[in-house]
Amino acid sequence: MCGTASQTEWAAERVATFNEQYAGQYKVVMEEIPGDQNYIDKLKVLYSADDLPDVIVTGGYNLIDMMQDKLVDLTPYMEEDPEWADFMSDVGVKVNSRDGKLYAVPYIRQIVGYYYNTELFEQAGIESVPATWDEFFEACDKLLAAGITPVSMDTADSGWCTSLMLGAMVGSTDSGEEFMNTNQPTDYNNQDLIDAAARIQTMFQKYTTADAIGGDYAAAANNFFNEKTAIIANGPWMVSKFYDTSVVSEDFADKIAVAAYPEGVMYNSGQIGWSIASKTPEKIEASLAFVKFMTSEESQRLDLEVCSVVPDCTIADADVYPLVNETIALADTAEHSINDYQSLWHATVVDEVSVQYPLLADGSITPEQFAQALTDAAA
């Protein structure tokens, strides 16, 4: 299974508790693979060798379309257990279904805005959160004038922070919102994406750190934690780090606020959940017990409280950081709700953005060529 860094503690605790509860009946052995991309690559190799593990969770990457033929259709089990079926959100079921068949059990609601450093905003004289992209760039100019690098960006490993900004820019219009909610688009030559790529090009050239090109998420996050940058695009699972004084200064969390992207855009969708690839009825039964345990209300509550991961189900009285609830509230009132590129775009396109971002940054390609490169990668 995939233990993405922010959920490692939760996953380890849950697996240990499951093994304790089901001692003598089932035992889950967890293999940890550092890095999401390494995990995905390994799963692809195991898929080719017809040797997938019994239970898979991909941390948001969409492998359902690629591995559908080896995954167990969970619809009959849902029908057998209506209470369990009702527990899943409609949006979660939709994201994890293909042709009316459920291939993964949702457990996360994907909510992403951006976090900003209020102290740095104040220093730059920015009084309110930008409501449009023009205002966003005006704010960036003010930050620059105050000697502050505006935005944390990255290009390695699909350029997570950068691609979130790109997606939010695309999703600022109705047509862009529709595009950002399309599963595996094949044509990226649309004006929304070209305009967004042009803005990203400007951001690379003017508004980010020198190490953004070629840098990964960790470098982008460090720049934000060290207050070298004022803005980072990311989800609420990052919030617990704002309180971790081994990473940030003591009053860091007090300085951080969350905002929706300009034009009222928020990432707000279901996320790919837990799939079963067991081959025998006995193993499917055991895997199902484990998946139900990992996606139970108790597990989702713990994930929310320990890792600030927003659950698929509704948990009203959870003990969470205020920023997490504020992020959820922003998602609930967003004008444009979009899904993230890792969940929807084909793996080759996700990889291609990392290849093309540096070229876009140094002006070797135009935004139109960037869009064409993604289209070519999707072919």
Partner 1 sequence: MKPKKTTLAAFLLPCILLFLLIYLVPLVLVAVSSFANWRIGQPLSFAGLSNYVQAFHDKNVRAAVGHTLLWVIAQATIHVFLGTLLAFILAKKFRGWKVFRTVCMLPNVISTAALAMILLNVFKTDGGLVNGLISLLTGSKFEWNWYFNSSTALPAVTLGWLLYPGMITILMLAAITSISNDLLEAARIDGATSLQINLRVILPMVRNTLGTSVIVAATSMLKEFELIYLTTNGGPGNATLNLPLYIYKTAFTENNYSYSNAMSVLLILLGVLIVYAINRLFRMEESDY
298 part of the interface to partner 1, by CB under 8 A: no
The size of the interface with partner 1 (CB under 8 A), counted in residues, is 30
Q: How far apart are CA 280 and CA 54, in angstroms?
A: 10
With binding defined as CB under 8 A, does residue 131 bind partner 1? no
CB 153 within 8 A of CB 212: yes
Q: Which of 28, 55, 57, 67 binds partner 1 (CB under 8 A)?
A: 67
Q: In the chain, where does DSSP find H-type helix?
A: 8-21, 36-48, 64-67, 75-80, 82-87, 90-95, 118-123, 133-145, 160-170, 174-180, 191-206, 217-225, 239-242, 252-255, 281-294, 297-307, 322-332, 341-344, 347-361, 367-378
The nearest distance, CB 363 to partner 1, in angstroms, is 9
By CB under 8 A, is residue 44 in contact with partner 1?
Answer: yes
For residue 362, state whether it binds partner 1 (rule: CB under 8 A): yes
Is residue 23 a contact point for partner 1 (CB under 8 A)? Answer: no
Measured from the CB atom, the residue of 56 and 265 that comes closer to partner 1 is 56
Nearest distance, CB of residue 205 and partner 1, angstroms: 12
Query: Which of residues 8, 21, 186, 348 is near partner 1 by CB under 8 A?
Result: 348
12's tokens: 């380890």
Q: How far, in Å, are 62, 225, 294 from residue 299 at the CA level?
A: 22, 29, 6
What is d(CA 300, CA 95) in angstroms, rounded to the nearest whole number? 18
196 binds partner 1 (CB under 8 A): no
Closest approach of Cβ 282 to partner 1, in Å? 26
Dihedral sign from CA coordinates of 193, 195, 201, 203: negative
The correct pick among 22, 296, 351, 378 for binding partner 1 (CB under 8 A) is: 351
User: Under a CB-based contact definition with an 8 Å cutoff, are residues 205 and 364 in contact?
Assistant: no
CB nearer to partner 1: pick between 247 and 378:
378
| Selected binder of partner 1 within 95, 126, 129, 156 (CB under 8 A) | 156
Give the binding site for partner 1 (CB under 8 A).
Answer: 41, 44-45, 47-48, 65-69, 155-156, 209-211, 213-214, 347-348, 351, 354-359, 361-362, 364-365
